[in-house]
Structure 1
Amino acid sequence: MTKTDTAHTAAARAEAAPLLEARDLSVAFTQNGVTQTAVDRISFQIAPGETLALVGESGSGKSVSALSAVKLLPYPAASHPSGEILFKGENVLTADEKALRRIRGNEISMIFQEPMTSLNPLHTVERQVAEMLKIHRGMSDSAARARVLELLHQVGIREPEQRLQSYPHQLSGGQRQRVMIAMALANEPDLLIADEPTTALDVTVQAQILQLLKDLQRETGMAMLFITHDLGIVRKIADRVCVMTGGKIVETGPVAEIFDNPQHSYTRHLLAAEPKGAPPVSDTSRPVVVEAEDVKVWFPVKRGFLRRTVDHIKAVDGIDVTVREGQTLGIVGESGSGKTTLGLALLRMISSTGRIRFEGNEIQDRSWRDMRPLRRDMQVVFQDPFGSLSPRMSVADIVGEGLGVHFPGLSLDERDRKVAAALEEVGLDATTRFRYPHEFSGGQRQRISIARAMVLEPKFVMLDEPTSALDMSVQAQVVDLLRDLQKRHGLAYLFISHDLKVVRALANDVIVMRAGKVVEAGSADAVFDAPETEYTKALMAAAFRLETVDAGVVSE
């Protein structure tokens, strides 16, 4: 499409009556007699066939605004002190249940951020997609089955006949998200609301999903409300953008205009909030902390009445690793490539074969009991900063738990001082240590996770997707924090991620994994600037240019 065609299309949309329009919308939540405003008098509209992006960090009011469009907030705790939302001229906020049933899933559909929690784990793919068709279209079983197959094929799931009877846990993250899209598109909605639909996906799958949404939009003419904190995605998919912070829309306009000439300070902050900087200078003279040779993790496949082993899933298949003091080794690849399994094997948290040495000492054959003295020197920070923190423990107890195990001689006061110092070091106010995880933001929870690891003064830290669940600006802050801690304490990092921008900001060396094997390895500069394999080139294209990925190179 030429610039002239684009201009004509935008002009036509501007003249058309809005499909969805929010006027002076406010959303408030009341709990224990206290009312807080989540959205404060915002207004926006979406024309037929248009994509509007709502952009902002966690807590800005994006998702609350979108859920209001189909009246899915937890009423009566939620209320609308002002405003209205008009869909085809009808006020959704005052619509009765019959009208809402007609709209939801039929004229307006939603794709949620985490497909694993949105899909029913007890129902097959066929049943979940067909349910939409039976409820809204009254289709028979045979007609619904045929339509489900058509939808699965349309969203790019290979061999859909074999996936009909699959359960969500049997699908990859990208496949589950494609099933969610199939459900959303089943009744050919006029408006699709996509709430962070690619946040948890690999860069290659993310590029495929974005291209799929654009293709489907072009074929069906549906409008789309796209919610994200990633401005790179906005540039790829949206026509117009509304920037939100603190429940308000602070800037709105065409995507090119917002990106090229942002007016509001918060918009400029978002555009600049990308992990920057460089890792420490590579130094091969630094002592080796972790070294591994020919590491294999094979999971047996057992079948038959006697449960005999008939094959193996080769999650990690003969990999060599070297991590030096004060240096970072990045492990990249798609979900299922074996990244986390390799990290857990190096920590001796799962069984493996091969040779693993920690500070020159063989640890491959050590028992769990013999490994215990080394645990304080080998720490891990997990991906989900909420799921990895006990909701029943205060932050002081969470961070200090390891001290009680590895430093039993510390008094309570000494332990408390160490906890406070660790929290201060990661940029948190030590006076908040008696609060619980739910009282902190996602970025703060991840800092707590880092403090829990650092309080033991480790020598080796495995960082398993530590920034993937965070906003862009918080990602940049956490990357700066990790780099600073590494420089201060000479830490050796194993950094596992599918976000190559973050890896580039942290890693000295990179290993690219696919299906349990290394497809490329070398210095970060060599791998990022001059990738040799087609697979690595596809990863780089998806991460840095958000191009369409060749399905023959990167497959589901």
Structure 2
Amino acid sequence: MSVVLEVENLSIRFRQDGRVLEAVKSVSFTVGKGETVALVGESGSGKSVTALSTVSLLPDSAGVDGSIRYLGREMVGASEADLRRVRGNDISFIFQEPMTSLNPLHTIERQLGESLSLHQGLSGDAARGRIVDLLQKVGIADAESRLGAYPHQLSGGQRQRVMIAMALANGPELLIADEPTTALDVTIQAQILDLLAELKAREGLSLLFITHDLGIVRRIADRVCVMQGGEIVEQGPSKDIFANPQHPYTQKLLAAEPKGVPEPIAADAPEVARTENLRVWFPIQRGLLRRTVGHVKAVNDATLSVRAGETLGIVGESGSGKTTLALAVLRLTPSEGRVVFLGRELKGVQGAALRALRRDMQVVFQDPFGSLSPRMTAEQIIAEGLGVHGVEPGRDRREMVAEIMTEVGLDPAWMGRYPHEFSGGQRQRIAIARAMILRPKLVVLDEPTSALDMTVQVQIVDLLRSLQRKWGLAYIFISHDLRVVKALSHRVMVMKSGDVVEAGDCAAVFDAPKSDYTRSLMAAAFGEAAV
């Protein structure tokens, strides 16, 4: 097998505030012709920095030693003109979040055309024909009609397909995919992985795949390089790494999957929340007089209940209505139908009366960085709810913050730090502490683990279990990660296009799904053998 990319003794350091930070230390690996090599590790392990260094996409503050050879040509120290010829032409990238990688102000045709014009000199009808061909190749239905679409008019899966089309535009030899499926639903994730495998076989591509998800690695990689702290601690054929991992860190990663089942609910556990025939329809208004011409049916006739100490998992793809349903339960979006909380009908409850109930219903969001104010310290963020609802009589606010920080596994000495000074897992613990300090009865958890590494996911699941056990909390847990749902939920509700297509005991739904849609979710998450 001929070698496409050869990395030898690569070291990368950054100068920051007078200090030198070593991001990558003496890394060596190769990618052969037609081969898929996976760089695996947690956030901060050096995976993405290593990939970006292949075509010198690092900031000026980076110092690079070692050798990176593409088809025998040295890339370290290469001229800008040589690098420009390789970037996007011979080596192409697919990044994690297509919405931030695509220009929101330009149409899909213009963005794909820009690359074709720059590298191949194509324009007009020739470029248009090539763009349609690329979009069809990556599975965009009715490609010609999509040329004038902007990124926000496409689904997450479609945006990622457009990113793949851009990467393929100039016939690259090597495709570098940096967490390309992390932000996608399980079914879309499966489609993208199948597409990459098909394109690799058809186009004869080599693939360097960066991920923290070992399930994906097992599915697509020929060889695996495991990174920790900027070093490759183990590498070898995928089947050997999974069958007999040698390094303790590799063993830890392979064991990092949420396991077990939640504790049984007490037979006399009281009902915390209930909905009956809940409906959320958003009007579609057109014309000068904004007449309603139809509705977006976000949630249709959803009936659910959750008791103290119980977790109700709500699963489904993006746009299925999961989050909208939860927001309606919290009275954060208008709805029709009954919502009963702690035995009280919420219809008509407004103002101070509703605000008093809010202390008992809290929410933890998906992105711990986006949901925390960068201008507030950890102490201010966690204590924010106490300012709204009042501190318990006789309790000191700072004392309460210290207590809840300890409970969620944070050092109270970090109270004065800001969000950017914490890791992703620590930020999510702050978000959980902010919700839990009010001792709520119901907590909505909206994808609280999807942005986290596998080992951190396990820690957060264990934390949520212990808090539920200690305080008898009711959880509504929203996720597209069925492994986490299975480990945390007592009952499961499956949603599609606003409809509840299946609901029941967690074990029953996972072991014997009744609807075709649920079976497709299970197949995408666990493989055909699990269905």
TM-score surpassing 0.5? yes
The equivalent residue for 1:433 is: 415
Residue in structure 1 matched with residue 95 of structure 2 by the alignment: 112
Alignment of 1:103-502 (within 5 A): 103-283=86-266, 285-407=268-390, 414-502=396-484
Which letter maps to 2:379? A
Find the residue that maps to 2:338 and give its secondary structure: strand
- 1:519 paired with 2:501, answer yes
Q: Conserved in 2, the CA contact under 8 Å of 1:279 and 1:483?
A: yes
Partner of 2:5: 20
AA aligned opposite 1:119: L
> What does 1:26-105 align with in structure 2 at a 5 Å threshold?
26-75=11-60, 77-80=61-64, 82-105=65-88
Gaps of 5+ in 1: 1-12, 550-556
Contact 1:315 1:341 (8 Å CA) reproduced = yes
1:539 paired to 2:521:
yes
- Of 297-306 and 433-442, the range deviating more from structure 2: 297-306
Of the three residues 468, 482, 491, the one matched with 1:509 is 491
Give the match's secondary structure for 1:131: helix
Deviation for aligned residue 1:306: 2.1
- Measured in 1, the distance between the counterparts of 2:203 and 2:162 equals 18
Cα distance change of structure 1 residues 310 and 397 upon mapping to structure 2, 3 Å threshold: same
In the aligned structure 2, how far is the partner of 1:365 from the partner of 1:138? 63
Q: Distance in 1 between matches of 2:264 and 2:319?
A: 31
**Counterparts of 2:154 and 2:19 in 1: how far apart (Å)?**
42
- AA partner of residue 313 (structure 2): G
Residue 368 to residue 499, structure 1, CA distance change in 2 (3 Å): farther
Partner amino acid for 1:437?
Answer: P
Letter in 1 for 2:251: R
- Native 8 Å contact 1:121 1:168 kept in 2: yes
Cα separation, 2, equivalents of 1:210 and 1:239:
14
Query: Equivalents in 2 of 1:61, 1:364: separation in Å?
Result: 52
| Residue 409 of structure 1: how far off its partner (Å) | 6.8
Please report the RMSD computed on the Cα atoms of aligned residues, expressed in angstroms: 1.4
Give distance in 1, aligned partners of 2:528 and 2:468. Answer: 31
**Aligned with 1:19: secondary structure?**
strand
Is this contact kept in 1: 2:522–2:530, CA < 8 A?
A: no
- The question of whether the paired residues in 2 share the 8 Å contact of 1:207 and 1:548 is answered with no
| Aligned partner letter, 1:381 | V
Identity %: 63
Report how far residue 305 of structure 1 moved: 2.5
Would you identify which runs of 4 or more consecutive aligned residues in structure 1 move more than 3 Å?
A: 282-285, 408-411, 546-549
Shift of 1:304: 2.0
Instruction: Write the distance in 2 (CA, Å) between the matches of 1:53 and 1:379.
Output: 39
- Deviation per residue, 1:521-556 (Å, 9 max, x gap): 11101110000111100000111117999xxxxxxx
Distance 1:279 1:337 in 2: 25
* Structure 2 SS opposite 1:532: coil
Letter in 1 for 2:288: F
Measure how far apart 1:362 and its partner are.
0.7
Go from structure 1 to structure 2 and tell me whether the alpha carbon gap of 1:547 and 1:312 turns closer, same or farther (over 3 Å shift): farther
CA contact (8 A) 1:380 1:463 kept: yes
Match of 2:368, SS?
A: coil
Answer with 235-244 or 170-179: which moved more: 170-179
User: Structure 2: any 5+ residue segments left out of the alignment?
Assistant: none
Q: TM-score normalized by structure 2?
A: 0.98
Q: Deviation at 1:97?
A: 1.1
Q: TM-score, normalised by structure 1?
A: 0.94
